[in-house]
Each structure stands twice: as C-alpha cells, then as structure tokens.
Amino acid sequence: MRRLSVPALVLALAGMLLPAGTTAAAAADDFYDPPATLPPGNGDLVRSEPSEFYLDPLKLVRSPAAVQRIMYRSTDAHGDAMAVTGTVLTPTEPWRGSGERPIIGYGVGTQGLGDQCAPSRQLAAGTEYEGAFLSGLLARGYGVVVTDYQGLGTPGVHTYVVRAATGHAMLDGVRAAQRLEAADLPDAGPVALAGYSQGGGASAAAAELAPTYAPELDLVGAYAGAVPAELGAVARYLDGGVYAGFLLYAVNGLASAYPALDPESMLNDAGDAALAASQEQCTAETVAAYALTESSTLSESGEPLEAFLDEEPYKSVVADQRIGERGPTAPTLVIHSALDDVVPYPQGREMARSWCGKGTKVRFDTSVAPTHVGAAVAAFPVAFGWLEARFAGLPAVNSCGWF
C-alpha cells in the first residue's frame, strides 16, 4: 500500500458506498455501438478515444495515467465474434523494473447489468469502486487494461459469470492494449491477470484459457480473489442473504449466453419483473431492492432457484461454468476469506486444490478478514507484493499440499 496515497484510498473506497449507476448514468453515446463487421483477429481494435479516470465522483482526484477507451474484437462462450469495450491505462509513473513495462489484464467485481454500470463509464465518472486497487497498480508503473466484459455498454445483456466469455474478454483486452499505439505499451512484454469476486472468476478463467486461447502472451502469473468457481454452491450461499439479487444477475447472464434456458418459464410474475428490472440496475440498486429475498418467492413452483440448477437444461450449462477443470500453466495467487459473506470459501479452496492436481503452481492464502468487501481490501498488499515478485522474475511460492 506504500505507493497508494491515503486521500486516494479513502475517496476510492467511499465509492463502494455510492449507489452505482446514479452518478454514472449512460449518456447518448454511439461509441458502444459495434460496427456491422468486426476486424478479423481476436484483440484487434475497432475504435479508441481519449477518456478519463477519476477516483471520486466529485472529480477532484484524477488518476495518474493516460486513459484510452477502446472497443475490440473477442469471442463469446460459443466461439462467435463479439465486440467488447474497455479502458487502457498508461501510468505517468515510469517503469523502474527490468525489461519492458508490464501489462495487467484486470477484471472488475460485480458492477450490475445496466449499460451505465460499464467500468469504462464508471472510471470516467469517478464511481468505480475498484479505483483504489487500480491506482495501486498504476503507482507501481504497470500498464492496465480493464475490460467491460460482454454486454456491459455494448448491446445485449451482460453475460455475468459466464466463464469463457469473461476469460476471452480479459485476454483479448490485453491483446488490444498491446496493439493500441496511443497507449505506448509493449507489444510483447510481460503480462499478469488480476481480479476479485466476479473479477477473480474472470482472472481464473482467463488463466485457464490462456495456454490455448492466447499462447503468445508472456503470462507470468494470475491473481484471483474470492473466485465464484462453482455456481451451484454460490447460489445456495446467496439465497435469502443481503446479496440475493446477484442470483438475478446470474440467471440473466446465463440466459443471455444460452437462450434455450428460458428462465421466465420457471418464474412467477414477481420473478419475471425482478429479472427484467435487474437488467437495468447497478450493484447498489440491486442489493437495496432484493436484499434478504428468498428465491422461492420468485419461482412458479415455490422451489428455490438453485434447485433448478441441478436439472437440465441448467445442469449442463452450470457445469460448463465450473472453474478448476483446466489447469493454468502460469503461477497463481488465490486469496479467499473464510469469513466471506458472498462467495463461499470451500468451493474456492476446492478450485485451488484442483489446479494443484493438474500441476499448477498455486499460492493459496486463507484470509480471516470479515466480509467479502473487507477481505478485498485486506488482500491489496498481498496481491501487490505477489505481482511485484512475478515481474521481478522471482520464484513463485507453491503451497500445494498445505491447504
């Protein structure tokens, strides 16, 4: 944390408490409208333009970076071409390490489903709660590319927690940053992935996919915090809790990627209304609207929504989202709090153990920081130190067999 100023940290963490989406409302902006034809290569740029990154909604603290908003080609869960937007950050801080300036592919945590929730919009508005961690990366001289994922800003419903779509978006975001002349970042330098919560899942998925999807990237490591690796376990944990509304995000995201699921057929009128409303909301709005909601009150049969995940057609789709079935070849840092109140700890540990069994070098840290948000902040110094070691070429700690 030594290179992250106290005012910047306080202002950025305060953004976690703001109703995301109210100050970052989507203006009429055709930047997010993809052209009829996309370029041929994954990671190829469609367009770019200068943008901004503020650490507070009053726009008093500007991040020390040159900012470019981008649109680039990626592929969805089925291998079809899609347009994704994001933000490339080139720090004003010089790179003091050896070799070329590294690039971090960053996945943000849950933002919501409304287009106004896209990280590229929230960074510019000063309402992105991930701003503190991103500023810490910039302070260390790393280039950073933050993907908006599929359907945040761009047309369609955001494919929340869809493994392949989020992993592809992260990896292709790095490729796009390497190809963006205005960013002045190395086109073949060292790369790491990072993210927490939804972003931890995206980072973990990208690390698994990288050896075959983006083998040319010089991937030196991946930090994945509080990974929602097994959606069935996460659904059971969330139901009836403060963050129960995230179940609506997951159902929407899966249905967007797999239209045959037809979730309306299992929901009652209240469930249909909630599903539709959540498509236009950011995180704080959804938490406020659906905290402590029992999903059984939203289903036609009176069963909880997680019961449907054990039946077809949901069972196969949910199984395909499981993270841990493929072993990353780059070293990984996995941090998960035993006191996490959003993403259950045991399934995250099981993912890391599965990676160990596939030969991945894993450092698994059990946090005792209370709550999901508290554990994210507590993980900052560990993640920063681990990433610094990877870029310095130091041997990665392997805790396989010890957790």
Q: Is the pTM of this model over 0.95?
A: no
> Do 180 and 96 meet the contact criterion of CB atoms below 8 Å apart?
no
pLDDT at 6: 35
- 142/289 same-domain check: no
The answer to whether residue 401 sits within a structural domain is no
- 58/139 same-domain check: yes
Looking at residue 239, which CATH number applies to its domain?
A: 1.10.260.130
Q: For residue 108, give both structure tokens.
A: 């943000």
Q: Which amino acid is at 386?
A: W
The answer to whether residue 160 sits within a structural domain is yes
- 164/260 same-domain check: no
- 238/274 same-domain check: yes
Compute φ and ψ for 199, nearest 5 degrees.
-65, -30
- 259/295 same-domain check: yes
The answer to whether residue 398 sits within a structural domain is no
The answer to whether residue 400 sits within a structural domain is no
The answer to whether residue 403 sits within a structural domain is no
- 300/368 same-domain check: no
* Residue where a domain stops, chosen among 319, 347, 362: 319
- 279/348 same-domain check: no
- 14/139 same-domain check: yes
* Residue where a domain stops, chosen among 266, 287, 319: 319
Q: Is 385 exposed, middle or buried (0-12, 13-18, 19+ CB in 10 A)?
A: exposed
- pLDDT tens across the length of the chain (403 residues): 334 433 333 333 433 333 344 333 334 479 999 999 999 999 999 999 999 999 999 999 999 999 999 999 999 999 999 999 999 999 998 999 999 999 999 999 999 999 999 999 999 999 999 999 999 999 999 999 999 999 999 999 999 999 999 999 999 999 999 999 999 999 999 999 999 999 999 999 999 999 999 999 999 999 999 999 999 999 999 999 999 999 999 999 999 999 999 999 999 999 999 999 999 999 999 999 999 999 999 999 999 998 888 899 999 999 999 999 999 999 999 999 999 999 999 999 999 999 999 999 999 999 999 999 999 999 999 999 999 999 999 999 999 999 9
> Do 112 and 122 meet the contact criterion of CB atoms below 8 Å apart?
no
Q: Give the Cα separation of 257 and 251 in Å (integer).
A: 10
Q: What residues form DSSP beta bridges with 219? A: 191
User: Alpha helix locations (H) across 220-343?
Assistant: 231-238, 246-257, 269-278, 283-290, 305-308, 314-320
The answer to whether residue 402 sits within a structural domain is no
Q: Is 132 exposed, middle or buried (0-12, 13-18, 19+ CB in 10 A)?
A: buried
Could you give the number of structural domains in the chain? 2
Q: CA torsion 353→237→166→180, rounded to 10°?
A: -90
* Residue where a domain stops, chosen among 267, 300, 319: 319
- 287/301 same-domain check: yes
> Do 171 and 132 meet the contact criterion of CB atoms below 8 Å apart?
no
- 178/309 same-domain check: no
Domain that holds residue 143: 6-230+327-391
Q: Which tens digit of pLDDT belongs to each residue from 277-316?
A: 999 999 999 999 999 999 999 999 999 998 888 899 999 9
List b or e across 52-81, with b for residues whose CB sees 16 or more CB atoms inside 10 angstroms: ebbbbbeeebebebbbbbbbbbbbbbeeee
pLDDT at 21: 41
Q: Which tens digit of pLDDT belongs to each residue from 192-243?
A: 999 999 999 999 999 999 999 999 999 999 999 999 999 999 999 999 999 9
Q: Is 240 exposed, middle or buried (0-12, 13-18, 19+ CB in 10 A)?
A: middle
Max CA distance (Å), the chain: 61
The answer to whether residue 179 sits within a structural domain is yes
pLDDT at 156: 96
State the CB neighbour count (10 A cutoff) for residue 30: 5
Q: Which residues contact 215 (CB under 8 A, 6 or more apart)?
A: none
Q: Which of 170, 169, 63, 182 is nearest to 125 (CA)?
A: 63
The answer to whether residue 341 sits within a structural domain is yes
- 56/185 same-domain check: yes
Q: Give the Cα separation of 190 and 198 in Å (integer).
A: 24
Looking at residue 151, which CATH number applies to its domain?
A: 3.40.50.1820
- 220/254 same-domain check: no
